[in-house]
Amino acid sequence: MLRRRGRLLDDAAHLRTWARRGHTPLIRVRGRSQRRFSIAALACYKQGERSRLIYRPKRHVDHKRGGRRSFTWTEYRNLLITAHQQLGAPIVLVWDNLNAHRDRRLWEFINTHDWITCHSLPAHTPGLNPVEGIWSLLRRSSQANTAFTHPDHLMSVLRHGLRQIQYRSNLIDGCLAETGLTLTTSRQQRP
């Protein structure tokens, strides 16, 4: 029935929308895309226990004046300290090659704390990063087909979506299983 009057289109997120034949659906937005929010997250796994998601969203208020548009090394350090306190256990950290993750000062912090074991993923391997699965879940659930009216609306939806994932440890487990990773605990250090 829809085939006569229009067609179903698939977008990159595999969601569907409808448009009349020959007309591309358009969504009008005000302004242009500016990076105003960042989220840092740790997907935490411990054999025999419920998986956990520890995250920190951040709104960048000075983004228009050339201010920083990402987390600083100290914010990542503070996230690691908080995770260590909440988990009450050593951390085996598997990180991608984000610039802030390679910061010399952050590695100095990691190397001086024996409760952190760090492994760096090879370049260009997002499929090995369990947190990429978390972002995919977030985009496909709480952010799908939503036009945000205000930055506070976006932040509220992000927090709600992350809480929903947090309460469903089977989703977090699935993100790890999808990577196929097996971890060892040998300590890697950087100069």
Assigned domain for 20 exists: no
Q: Is the pLDDT of residue 36 over 90?
A: no
The CATH number covering residue 165 comes to 3.30.420.10
Q: Is the pLDDT of residue 12 over 80?
A: no
Average pLDDT of the residues in 1-13:
39
Q: In the chain, which ranges are continuous DSSP H helix?
A: 2-5, 73-87, 104-111, 130-140, 151-166, 169-179
The enclosing H or E element of 24 equals none
pLDDT of residue 2: 34
pLDDT of residue 27: 65
Assigned domain for 81 exists: yes
Write down how long the chain is: 191
The tens digit of pLDDT for each residue in 119-161 reads: 888 888 888 888 999 999 998 888 887 888 888 888 888 999 9
Beta bridge partners of 58: 38
Residue 117 in tokens = 């074991």
Distances 113 to 89, 103, 174 between C-alpha atoms, Å: 13, 16, 30
Whether 43 and 176 have beta carbons less than 8 Å apart is answered as yes
Assigned domain for 53 exists: yes
The tens digit of pLDDT for each residue in 170-189 reads: 998 888 888 886 644 444 45
Q: Is the pLDDT of residue 30 over 70?
A: no
- Residues spanned by the domain of 38: 34-179
Assigned domain for 24 exists: no
Q: In 22-150, which ranges are continuous DSSP H helix?
A: 73-87, 104-111, 130-140
Tell me how many domains the chain contains: 1
Assigned domain for 29 exists: no
Distances 130 to 60, 136, 144, 172, 179 between C-alpha atoms, Å: 25, 10, 20, 8, 6
Assigned domain for 64 exists: yes
In sequence order, what are the residues at sequence separation of 6 or more whose Cβ sits closer than 8 angstroms to the Cβ of residue 11?
17
Assigned domain for 11 exists: no
